[in-house]
Amino acid sequence: MAIRCPEGCRDLLPDEAAYWERFASIARDVFSKYEYVSIYTPMIEQTELFVRGIGEATDVVSKEMFAAISGKNMEKLLEGEKIRSKSRLSLRPEGTAGVVRAIVQHDLVPDGAPPVKLMYAGPMFRAERPQHGRQRQFNQIGVECLGSADPTVDAEAIIMLMAFYERIGIESSMMRLLINSMGCGKCRPAYRELVHDYLSQNVDSLCDACKVRMEANPLRAFDCKEDGCKQVMSDAPKITDHLCEECSQHYAKVKGLLSSQGIEFVEDPALVRGLDYYTRTVFEVQATQGIGAQDAIGGGGRYDDLSKEIGGRSMPGFGFALGYDRCMLYLREKGMEFEPAKRCDVFVASVNDEVRDSAFELVQMCRYSDLRAEMDHQSRSLKSQFKLADKLDARVVVILGPDELARGEVKVRDMESHEESLVDKNEAVAAILDVLR
Ligand code: HAM
């Protein structure tokens, strides 16, 4: 049986690959107005980074990580030997931990420096149960701003993300922006205790996973999809009633800045997000139609303790990631078609095999002159070469025949006007450029 793509992964075929590149380039364009610049970090990192950064009690780390084990280490593991913690690697389930690791490693925000603003685009890996809108390899575009705790950073990033969605064709009326504050190291421990006590009083109504979560990280119970737990959590104490003065002010300022720019949002005190690094602002954007249960098309928040958690010095941060594949599901549902990936400028056709070397020479000359050029690579008949030129949407076809070539000439046909002219073969590229102009 032919080997197929792994479960939960998908191929981006050429038309979609071209669309993904355009999608990422629109993001770069929008985000660069806010001074975000690109960074590329590895797709594998030490597992320890995710355990410490994202949190051991999260589903992402405890259940969904793909280990990346080299052949040698796999042998060692199979033989019951230990491998060094440095050699324990995982495919990145998200981009934030790796970007913050790189910032710390390369000291990109020295003391007193302005904040660094970075963006990334690429695949992430989570061993989730695949379903519509949920994959094991999916593409994210994300940004991270490190070095400022100011609410203006939170607000401008959210505004920028909403502007991006509009640019790609998701209207604001089709999205819901949920926001919350998760508090900080000062106010959250007492709130956690409160939720823990509340869960203990309702333990009989909780699912088995939430009974474990109750001890490891009680706030995770807000994320549970079980009906019984949802019911319990709907009456749980709300974080926003227990924020310290600084967190309260920070949250109020973020909301004020969003409103001042006409950004509508819904406050959701149960929004805790699936990653443990968040402090203060968290937010999620949901598509209100068209993509079913997996409706979160993006989300993020502030993570002022993450840098310290992974061994760096204290450095406040804020960021978000948006899911390409879910945005694309929404746009396809709305009727968007991918444009064909390729429009060839010129196709060089050979009347017979004798002239193929000359065709090869001419097609290369076209490419050296920056044209998208193609020739036949299968000794097809002239008729089927024309069909191929049509398929490639070639604007010009150059026909090489033995008699014309003997006279030092080639035929140039404009495929739109169907006009043909015989030109000196040394003038062929100039004649093609004339038609394209
Ligand atoms: P996240 O909410 O886990 O956040 O993922 C962001 C987006 O990635 C989601 O809203 C969703 O659109 C997409 N996504 C996540 N999992 C899948 C999946 N299995 N299949 C398809 N799409 C998926 C983060 O990853 C954080 N790193 C965001 C962040 C950046 N927070 C601060 N900075």
Q: Is the pLDDT of residue 342 over 80?
A: no
At 217, is the pLDDT very low, low, confident or very high (cuts 50, 70, 90)?
Answer: confident
At 90, which amino acid appears?
A: S
Most confident of 45-49, 83-87, 205-209: 45-49
Q: What is the pTM of this model?
A: 0.93
At 400, which amino acid appears?
A: L
Q: What per-residue confidence (pLDDT) applies to 205?
A: 92
Residue (of 304, 98, 100, 299) closest to 188 by Cα position: 304
Nearest CA residue ID for atom 10, ligand 1: 298
Nearest CA residue ID for atom 17, ligand 1: 134
Nearest CA residue ID for atom 2, ligand 1: 299
Average pLDDT score over the chain: 95
Residue (of 38, 214, 210) closest to 117 by Cα position: 38
For a substitution probing ligand 1, which of 12, 49, 66, 94 has the most ligand atoms within 8 Å of its CB?
94
Which atom of ligand 1 approaches the CA of 135 most closely?
A: 20
CA of 407 to the centre of ligand 1 (A): 64
Q: What per-residue confidence (pLDDT) applies to 71?
A: 86
Residue (of 209, 191, 268, 201) closest to 232 by Cα position: 201
Q: Which of 7-11, 141-145, 207-211, 350-354 has the lowest mean pLDDT?
A: 207-211
Nearest CA residue ID for atom 5, ligand 1: 321
CA of 400 to the centre of ligand 1 (A): 54
Which atom of ligand 1 approaches the CA of 319 most closely?
A: 33
CA of 147 to the centre of ligand 1 (A): 22
For 55, list phi and psi in degrees, rounded to 5. Answer: 110, 130
At 213, is the pLDDT very low, low, confident or very high (cuts 50, 70, 90)?
Answer: confident
Q: What per-residue confidence (pLDDT) applies to 289?
A: 85
133 vs 330: CA distance, rounded Å: 10
Nearest CA residue ID for atom 1, ligand 1: 299
pLDDT in tens, 375-421: 999 999 999 999 999 999 999 999 999 999 999 999 999 999 999 99
pLDDT in tens, 6-27: 999 999 999 999 999 999 999 9
At 61, which amino acid appears?
A: V
Q: Which residues line ligand 1 (CB under 6 A)?
A: 94-96, 126, 128, 134-135, 138, 140, 142, 144, 274-275, 296-301, 319-323, 325-326
Percentage with pLDDT > 90 across the chain: 90
Mean pLDDT of 40-48: 97
